[in-house]
Structure 1
């Protein structure tokens, strides 16, 4: 009888965690669909009524995900990162750039998945450190600057994550404003400079980019980096 009771408790806890993560993905999807369009966020409207964002972050604080469930873990923290960025901007809105907010990436903390974390730690310790071969994270984590690949009007979900990661990476690396090719020269986003180790695990940066490009860049192209645009990705 005692074993049955323990089993029921464990099952109820697991079911509760599953329910909370399901609710998170559903509500996050609705939130992004409501407040994101054309790669930009309607911070002004969220500021007027932040209740849906606050509710989402309360759910995110209590969601439990395990690293063994890779797609759920990754999808949860990608969405959590993008929501935390929005929260950080909304709290200080109006602002022209996330860099105008002191400690935006490395000091302000959020409780996500039961743990207190900063945006930098979420990106570098929770995602990049645990999945060092997944360079596509850089095309779905949106830092509120226009230099980032655009935020999408939907949530990343475990069942669709692989397709979403691939789609956003292909989209970014075929965008002439993101990868600027002129003859034998190519200008890359500073993302490639800052996170070079992620993009050169199996060759050069050009090799990485060419895996996703329709029109390949010359293998010996001269690589440089253009300045990052930290202007706020707000709706016009």
Structure 2
């Protein structure tokens, strides 16, 4: 009898977790659709009415995801990162740049997934080292214009692979790269995280050409243009 009760309790707990995770994805999706347009965020609007942002972050506090459930895990932490960046900006609003706020990435903590955690912890401890996927750099949005654009929807486990591919292609064929004749300049992201773009014996050019429609010569030498840290506001 005790065994049956234990099984029922476990099943109820599992179902509640799944429901909470679905609620998180649904509310995140609604929030991004309402407050993000063309990669820019309506910080002033959110600052005036932060209820929907706070509500979805409250759900995120109690979410439990395992890295063995990779798609749910990755989608949760990508959205949690992007939402927390917005929360950090709104908590310091008005501000011109995330860098204007001391400790924005490495000191300010958020209650997410049962942890007290910084933005850098999410990126550099929970995602990059565990999955070694350079495409994370095109979906984790730091609140600045130099970042890849924030999309106006949530990252979902069912569509994550397509979304990662789509955002990487957009960046590599867009503002992430400047190509003029034989000169190729890339975002500083590619310099800061060179090790992510050169895994498995690839060169940076190999990675670029995997996603770029108009290929660049394999012998091209990369330079890096300065990062624009101005706020990605509407």
Q: Please give the alpha-carbon distance, in whole angstroms, between the structure 2 residues aligned to 1:167 and 1:228.
A: 22
1:146 and 1:232 in contact (8 A); partners too: yes
* Cα shift readout 1:175-211 (whole Å, capped 9, x = no counterpart): 1x32101122200000001100000113211110100
- Show the counterpart of 1:20: 20
1:95 is aligned to 95
Aligned position for 1:115: 115
Distance of 2:181 and 2:155 partners within structure 1: 36
Aligned counterparts, 1:124-143, within 5 A: 124-132=124-132, 134-143=133-142
Q: In the TM superposition, what are the counterparts of 1:70-81 in structure 2 within 5 Å? A: 70-81=70-81
1:185 is aligned, of 180, 183, 186, to: 183
Q: Distance in 2 between matches of 1:66 and 1:222?
A: 40
Gaps of 5+ in 2: none
Structure-2 separation of matches of 1:13 and 1:130? 26
Q: Deviations over 1:10-30 (max 9, x none)?
A: 001111110000000000000
Distance 2:12 2:36 in 1: 35
Deviations 1:106-152 (A, max 9, x none): 000001111111000110000011112x1100000000000000000
Alpha carbons 1:184, 1:220 under 8 Å: kept: no
Deviation beyond 4 Å, 4+ runs, structure 1: none
Aligned residues: 233
Q: Please name the residue that 2:229 is paired with.
A: 230
TM normalised by structure 1 equals 0.98
Q: Which residue of 1 aligns with 2:168?
A: 169
Specify every segment of 5 or more residues in structure 1 that has no aligned partner in the other structure, as ranges. none
Corresponding residue for 2:9? 9
* 2: CA distance, partners of 1:52 / 1:149: 24
Structure 1 residue 60 corresponds to structure 2 residue 74:
no
Equivalent residue, structure 1, for 2:45: 45
The alignment partner of 1:221 has SS state of coil
> How far apart are 1:222 and its partner, in Å?
1.7
- SS at 1:218 equivalent: coil
Distance, in Å, in 2 between the alignment partners of 1:129 and 1:58 is: 27
Q: TM-score, normalised by structure 2?
A: 0.99
1:215 aligns with 2:228: no
